[in-house]
Structure 1
């Protein structure tokens, strides 16, 4: 039986999630200030960060559907809009988490009586339901239905050139991405549910018990929410910061990639190899490839194999700069002594193409 949520577009699901989050933020923050419940106010601001995250995702989706010509100054950098927003979202969330944690400590010192704990309980229960609905909406993945007939034979490629044990197939990467996406949504929903359950328990204790210390349940719940905000914010900042610093994709070792590329027939050596993530989904690479044969036809064949090899690592956007081996090494290629040529060229660190001494200290090969 097909999932009815699949009939909704991603924009529609995000729009519904934004509407739900906005409504419950307004309700929770209003009731929180009315009842003087710090736990409910803390949960309301957690919902606010969910709202900001959903809004960023929707904005990035809308931008991605527009013509790239409308953003000429951004080139492909606009694809990092959601990532950049998530990074700053994490920074602000970290600050809020520490603020709530400190306010909770203050509440332990100067206790505040909670007004109408029954209303707080009702709102917290409704908030728990809204989190489950939002998680269900955003946890839906639209899976592809197999590769086209003209797709690259990546399994054959792995057996031939990309033979290193860490090379991945496209199916592995797609499955890994979907698994991570589902896991992330599940963890997010469980985290929100933990916050709501904490508020529910605190409100129930204050409502149903009569000992004076019952009001400590509210700052205890808010302290738990503050810690949750801090932990999730640290993860956002760490992961977003690594991608913004152009780290290699998860599970990809640049040394492995270099090893495979240098074993492509016709490649003498590889230098200035860079592999980085553009965002959470896309990876890029650039490399200088030294070849012995300067013919265009030969290089086109090598470039095709290199691109297929990079595809096996989940890298689908690459810039390859060909360099012909220096004439002083050409004699080594005579007599089928390609192994000797490889050893001699790989010992060199400079580029075969020079643009002048003035920019050597600023070049990637410098």
Structure 2
């Protein structure tokens, strides 16, 4: 059932991504043409950001298709971790765009006389770009809660929407005051909005790739819950990691009373442990090694 549920999510995510790609591609064409006509760096920055959005969405779509492939004897968890690599690529793209825009903006601020900005086309195209971003966000919103890959795509488009808002504000300032530097300042604002989201996405992707315990799981709390299970004495060699965002895997050596083995309560104890982790920690897959108290004396102490 969990396998079918996961593939249902992936199929829906694929449809969302295809529609979002079409919408963002239209917005990119409009913004690129507008940037050339208006001479706006903020609009060019937003076009570059939207181009990275489009690339990121395509990467996310490819990742979704690959992640849907079934597990095999070698890829025992399937290909779901490819979503994490896609999120890593998205984060790096965002940082690259932000750095390029920041350098250009500073250059224009230092030498503003060499660049003319036309406020009207800048305003019109900024509004059009913002509208396409809103549509794409609505399309992607349903998948952002359960997949790091979809969250990366969603954050790409959200950052571009905020960029479009900055373009509109800058164009209004240029039109009403003639202060052309507002365009460069607007592009720096876009950069400032991109970097924190890109960094957060990269940090989450790296955490999953390093096999770190999920941030919302306290292993001491897990041990406490396990120890509260009838027949359980303690737990050691406790590990928790994620295949991809939302797919937590857990393993532990669980020391139990000898009565558990003598009274044939192994199945009952395993079921209780599975229910405990699923209910309190939303663990997708758990593996327990039940052992008597003196067994730990024969094991190498190499894990937490």
Report the TM range for the smaller structure's normalisation.
0.7 to 0.9
Q: Structure 2: how far apart are the matches of 1:323 and 1:291?
A: 6
State how 1:1-366 maps to structure 2 within 5 Å.
9-69=12-72, 72-76=73-77, 78-111=79-112, 112-114=114-116, 116-140=118-142, 191-207=159-175, 209=177, 211=178, 214-293=179-258, 294=261, 297-312=264-279, 313-326=281-294, 351-354=296-299, 364-365=302-303
Contact 2:155 2:197 in 1 (8 A): no
Q: CA deviation at 1:186?
A: 8.8
Q: CA deviation at 1:40?
A: 1.0
Unaligned runs of 5+ in 1: 1-7, 143-176, 328-350, 355-359
Q: Structure 1: how far apart are the matches of 2:41 and 2:263?
A: 69
Q: CA deviation at 1:239?
A: 2.2
Which digits, 9 at most, give the CA deviation of each residue in 1:324-357, with x for residues without a partner? 3328xxxxxxxxxxxxxxxxxxxxxxx3555xxx
Which digits, 9 at most, give the CA deviation of each residue in 1:40-65, with x for residues without a partner? 11111221232233223322332233
Contact 1:139 1:185 in 2 (8 A): no
Instruction: Give TM-score, length-normalised by structure 2.
Output: 0.82
Q: CA deviation at 1:68?
A: 2.6
Instruction: Give TM-score, length-normalised by structure 1.
Output: 0.69
SS state of the match for residue 287, structure 1? strand
Q: Structure 1: how far apart are the matches of 2:290 and 2:97?
A: 51
Q: Structure 1: how far apart are the matches of 2:202 and 2:59?
A: 16
Which digits, 9 at most, give the CA deviation of each residue in 1:23-56, with x for residues without a partner? 3223323432454321111111221232233223
Largest Rg, 1 or 2: 1
Which digits, 9 at most, give the CA deviation of each residue in 1:77-115, with x for residues without a partner? 621212222123213322331231122111101114335
Q: Structure 2: how far apart are the matches of 1:183 and 1:236?
A: 8
Unaligned runs of 5+ in 2: 1-10
Q: Structure 1: how far apart are the matches of 2:218 and 2:143?
A: 28
Contact 1:56 1:82 in 2 (8 A): no
Which digits, 9 at most, give the CA deviation of each residue in 1:123-164, with x for residues without a partner? 11110110111111122369xxxxxxxxxxxxxxxxxxxxxx
